[in-house]
Structures are given as C-alpha cells and as structure tokens.
Amino acid sequence: MGVTKIENFTKSQNHLAMVAKALGHPARIAILEHLLKLNSCICGDLVEVLPLSQATVSQHLKALKEAKLIKGNIEGTSVCYCIDADTWKYSKQMLNQMFDKYHDNSCC
C-alpha cells in the first residue's frame, strides 16, 4: 500500500518520525548544514553548492519546510531560508529524550 498507518501511533511518535523522515536524505542534511554554517539566512545559492538541479533542490527545500525545520522569507526576487527555531529546539529535545533512554545494558 505504501501508505503509513499514522492514526495508530501516538502524536509524539508521528512527530519524531516526520522530522526524521525529513532528515532522511543526504541533500537535505547538506542543506541544513549549509544553513547552520552560514549561521544566518541564505538566499538561493544552495543550487550552486549542491550537485542537484534547481528543481530538485526546490523540492528538498519544500520537504524541509513541510516538516517545519526551515522557514522561507521572500525578499524581492529571491527567498531567504533559515532554520525554524521552534521546531529545531523541539525536535532536538525529542530526539535527545529518545536517545538518552538507552543505558548500556544490552543482553545481546
């Protein structure tokens, strides 16, 4: 079916999965790293940094925007992208919460 049974899982499980899914492509990781590196908004030079066409980059940006990991502000002809602070912090916290639950006592 290829369609996830979202309704059977908790809100937080779905949120974590949604964020993780958005992070689940090297191009999108690269986009975020670029945003973090410049430590400010960037305006469109992403296409030159990435080994992908403009259309494809735009699609990946859309995916990140849909997961609310980034925001895009229109500035004249170009668009200014930056990390969405709220989702970023929340996701960081959720991920840490999960990753911290493990305490090295595996039986296998």
Partner DNA sequence: AATATTAATCGTAATATTGCAATAAACAGA
Partner DNA sequence: TCTGTTTATTGCAATATTACGATTAATATT
**Angstrom distance (rounded) from CA 41 to CA 90:** 20
User: Least distance to DNA from the beta carbon of 105, Å?
Assistant: 20
**For the window 19-48, what string marks contact with its own copies as x by the rule CB under 8 A?**
-xxxxxxxxxxx-xx--xx-xxx-------
Q: At a CB cut-off of 8 Å and minimum separation 6, what does 71 contact?
A: 65, 81, 82, 83, 84
The interface with its own copies within residues 49-108 (CB under 8 A) comprises 51-52, 71-73, 80-83, 85, 88, 91-92, 95-96, 98-108
User: Least distance to its own copies from the beta carbon of 86, Å?
Assistant: 10
User: Least distance to its own copies from the beta carbon of 107, Å?
Assistant: 5
**Angstrom distance (rounded) from CA 80 to CA 94:** 27
Beta pairing partners, 73: 80
